[in-house]
Amino acid sequence: MQSNSQYTSRNFRAFVEQASAGRNSLPRILIGLAIIVAIWFAGTLALMTAGAFALSFGWLPARWVAPSDGNAFAVFAGSRAGLVTAILTIGSIWPGVWIVMRLVHRRRLSTLFGWQGRIAGGDFWRALLATLIVAILVSLATLFIEPRPAATGISPVTWLLVLPAVLIVLLVQTSAEELLFRGYLMQTLAHRFRSPWVWAVTPALLFAMAHWFPGARPWMNATVIFSIFLFAMGAVLLVKRTGNLGAAMGMHFANNVVAFLFVAADRQGQSLAFFVTPSIDDPSWTVADATIGGLLQIVMMAGILALLLLKGSPLRLPVPQREEGREEIAAESPVP
């Protein structure tokens, strides 16, 4: 294991040291990641299959499933209910990480949350509010940029009725992704390797590449990957500053709420947003469109991080410092 003296943030150093509570060899990290991905895939198959069965027995509201002659699985996957379920499947990461932490690393799941052993609620709400403000302003700006998003005509009543369930699904999804990429991978790799290229850039790049869209033009995939990578590195910066996943989770949740419920990419009638842009694989997207999209992402991330990190901002994240020499959760005995 490399020394953690290179970390300038005491809180982040304490966060990384939580990995010392259990077993954290590189083979265990790789085995753990493989198990998490396997459980994620199994959970996805189980939930989507259950949705197809529900469709076959007529248990889903008609307005959530468009008429089709295809098989039940394909029809469900292409419906609004299927879209929400597909997002929910990412929540399978939660039990996957819990199992890996208990059985492979022999320590508590809470050691991934932060140096205090819990998710900082204040950080979560500050980041959520900052992201909502900036993301909504940027989304409103896109309404005046060509190609302009089209109104979906979704009823405000329908939108409000599904809002609570969708918010829960998005919270499960975004918190699971942060738990895996900024919690499990970032912490375990930082405990083993000195270079930020390994513990910061590599998980962020993996997260971005997971959003590759088959069939999209190269410039659109480049913009998507750049935008997601920039977002992921912003989340890394928040964890690095606070030693906690709270702010990263709040930022991710708010970002997805705006991207899913206000201005979303067209998904063949699946959208629950008020406005939609053409799908990522739409051939009408130009290099100029992709460039503007990348610039908007830069503006959005700069605005969010400014609100959360700059002095004088009412939403600036507080960073309570750990007392040197204080015994932390990492000093607890490994899980038996």
Phi/psi of residue 275, nearest 5 degrees: -135, 150
Q: pTM for the full model?
A: 0.90
Over residues 213-235, the pLDDT tens digits come to 888 899 999 999 999 999 999 99
What is the band of 66 on the pLDDT scale with cuts at 50, 70, 90?
low
Let me know if residue 63 belongs to a domain: no
Long-range contacts of 78-82 (CB under 8 A, 24+ apart): 78/268, 78/270, 79/55, 79/270, 80/269, 80/270, 80/271, 80/272, 81/51, 81/55, 82/48, 82/51, 82/270
The domain total for the chain is: 1
Over residues 250-269, the pLDDT tens digits come to 999 999 999 999 999 876 55
Inter-residue contact 111 to 192 (CB < 8 Å) = no
Let me know if residue 134 belongs to a domain: yes
For residue 300, give the nearest of 186, 105, 162, 134 by alpha carbon: 134
How many angstroms separate the CA atoms of 129 and 316, rounded? 11
Model pLDDT, residue 322: 58
Domain that holds residue 138: 118-319
Let me know if residue 186 belongs to a domain: yes
Over residues 276-314, the pLDDT tens digits come to 998 888 898 999 999 999 999 999 999 999 999 999 999
Pairing of strands 263-265, 150-151: unpaired
| Amino acid, single-letter form, for residue 316 | R
**Residue 74 vs residue 129, higher pLDDT:** 129
- What is the enclosing helix (H) or strand (E) of 46? helix 26-56
Average pLDDT over all residues of the chain: 88
Let me know if residue 297 belongs to a domain: yes
Let me know if residue 192 belongs to a domain: yes
When mean pLDDT is compared across 9-18, 201-210, 261-270, the lowest value belongs to 261-270
Task: Report the 10 Å Cβ neighbour count for 150.
Answer: 11
**In this model, does residue 69 exceed pLDDT 90?**
no
Let me know if residue 168 belongs to a domain: yes
Let me know if residue 105 belongs to a domain: no
